[in-house]
Structure 1
Amino acid sequence: MKTTYTSLLVIAMLTLLLSNQIQVSVAVTCSPVQLAPCLGAIMSSSTQPSKACCDKLREQKPCLCGYMRDPNLRQYVNTPNGKKVANTCDAPLPNC
């Protein structure tokens, strides 16, 4: 009987520990306007992306394929400077 209670206690503790490790995924709202902090770096090869740019780029990463398919946005995202900014921010453009 004592072994059963101990086993249940261990299982309960493991469950609590593992539940803290589970990450909740948050849906990203795809909005190219969110990448406005990156515009200077994308338009000029001599401008380094800011921390705000990199943060937004990593946040919007699930949206990049959609942006690359959009003819109006492709000219900014899928360019040598756009790729450079993405790589500098450690958020390389996905293969879509």
Structure 2
Amino acid sequence: MRSITYTSLYAAAILMMILAGSQTTMAVTCQVTQLAPCASAISSSSPPSSQCCAKIKEQKPCLCQYMKNPSLKAYVSSPNAKKVANACGVPIPKC
């Protein structure tokens, strides 16, 4: 009976290690269109939606790339964009 318990515990421990190891981190795809849910909050003084905040947090690694793009810089660096980012708890990076 004791060997069955140890075998069950051993099998459970291995299963947990396999499941923990199978979680992979997905790389962020930098596409400014992902920030579309934030357009109304950036263009007006309305508060950002939860979807907007989720997208800003997801796209955070891409913000410097967007700020260095001459076509996007004015949009991403605007005072309203900074307000939206701050409201979502995402600091504007120094690039």
TM class, shorter-length: 0.7 to 0.9
Aligned mates of 1:18, 1:94 — CA distance in 2: 36
Q: Which runs of 5+ in 1 are unaligned?
A: 1-13
Q: Judging changes above 3 Å, is the alpha-carbon distance between structure 1 residues 18 and 51 closer, same or farther for their aligned structure 2 residues?
A: same
Q: Name 2:71's counterpart in structure 1.
A: 72
Q: Judging changes above 3 Å, is the alpha-carbon distance between structure 1 residues 28 and 18 closer, same or farther for their aligned structure 2 residues?
A: same
AA matched with 2:80: N
| Identical positions, percent | 54
Q: Judging changes above 3 Å, is the alpha-carbon distance between structure 1 residues 19 and 89 closer, same or farther for their aligned structure 2 residues?
A: farther
Q: Which runs of 5+ in 2 are unaligned?
A: 1-12
Q: Name 2:36's counterpart in structure 1.
A: 36
The Cα of 1:24 is off from its aligned counterpart by 3.7
Q: Name 1:61's counterpart in structure 2.
A: 60
* Superposition pairs of residues 76-91 of structure 1, within 5 angstroms: 76-91=75-90
Instruction: Give the TM-score taking structure 1 as reference length.
Output: 0.74
Aligned mates of 2:14, 2:80 — CA distance in 1: 47
Q: Name 2:49's counterpart in structure 1.
A: 50
AA matched with 1:53: C
The 4+ residue runs of structure 1 with deviation greater than 2 A are: 14-25
- For residues 46-67 of structure 1, give each alpha carbon's deviation from its aligned partner in whole angstroms, at most 9, with x where no partner exists: 2110001000000000000000
Q: Judging changes above 3 Å, is the alpha-carbon distance between structure 1 residues 26 and 73 closer, same or farther for their aligned structure 2 residues?
A: same
Secondary structure at the residue paired with 2:47? coil
Instruction: Give the TM-score taking structure 2 as reference length.
Output: 0.75
Q: Name 2:10's counterpart in structure 1.
A: none
